[in-house]
Chains A and B, each alone.
Chain A
Amino acid sequence: EPEVTQTPSHQVTQMGQEVILRCVPISNHLYFYWYRQILGQKVEFLVSFYNNEISEKSEIFDDQFSVERPDGSNFTLKIRSTKLEDSAMYFCASSDGQAFRPQHFGDGTRLSIL
């Protein structure tokens, strides 16, 4: 069964450094998402991406964050200057072209900021 893959599974970074989290969505999906889950808390929406541009973003997704689809398969989340509070599990998800369709999640990247 097709699945969303995320790399790395765990990223440790010094505060202030840039980090790029990578995702390969399911190949025929058109909508892509990033969510964040701080340890022990609920999953929160960050950003959605469709047709090579951001569709929607939350208040969390400030100027430190950016997303990109650099080629036909990868979808990346960049945090420009990481802060301690960016430590969380980051999930990538994708869905097919229809609204309200189930979003299929990757296994997540655990980001630890030191």
Chain B
Amino acid sequence: AQKVTQAQTEISVVEKEDVTLDCVYETRDTTYYLFWYKQPPSGELVFLIRRNSFDEQNEISGRYSWNFQKSTSSFNFTITASQVVDSAVYFCALIDQTGANNLFFGTGTRLTVIP
């Protein structure tokens, strides 16, 4: 069965600090995809990134970067030089072959960036 663990329930940082959000996953499948979604206070879910199980290259997009390590089953998300607009709940999610095409979400990490 799939499992996505986001052990950090809430994180607070001061603006301009870097912050890393942890995600650990479990799956029996060899083919799977990992996702990060952002849920700002307005409530919508915003897709940030998708990474497949065969591509362990780290990815950087502006102030966002993702570190995928199959050896530790982790897919961590770092925000560099955080801004107040980054305040949101961030969800890590998994799609594997067992779950067909359904997203299996972690419990989310609430990030608060203090000005």
Cβ of A104 within 8 Å of any chain B Cβ, yes or no, is yes
Interface of A is mostly: strand
Distance between Cα atoms of A39 and B101 in the complex (Å): 24
| Given A42-B91, A42-B108, A43-B91, residue A103 in contact with residue B103 (CB < 8 A) | yes
Provide the residues of chain A in CB contact with B35, threshold 8 Å.
102
Task: Give the size range of B's interface with the partner.
Answer: 20 to 34
Residue B80 lies at the interface, judged by CB distance under 8 Å to chain A: no
Q: In the complex, what residue of chain A is closest to B4 when comparing beta carbons? A: A42
Q: Would A42 and B33 count as touching, CB distance under 8 A?
A: no
Bound complex: CA of A99 vs CA of B101, how far in Å?
A: 6
Task: Report Cα–Cα, A42/B2, bound state, in Å.
Answer: 15
A95 in the interface (beta carbon within 8 A): yes
Listed A/B pairs (6) with beta-carbon separation below 8 Å: A33-B102, A56-B100, A102-B35, A105-B44, A105-B46, A107-B43
Which B residues lie at the A interface, using CB under 8 A?
A: 32-33, 35, 37, 42-47, 50, 52, 91, 93, 95, 99-108
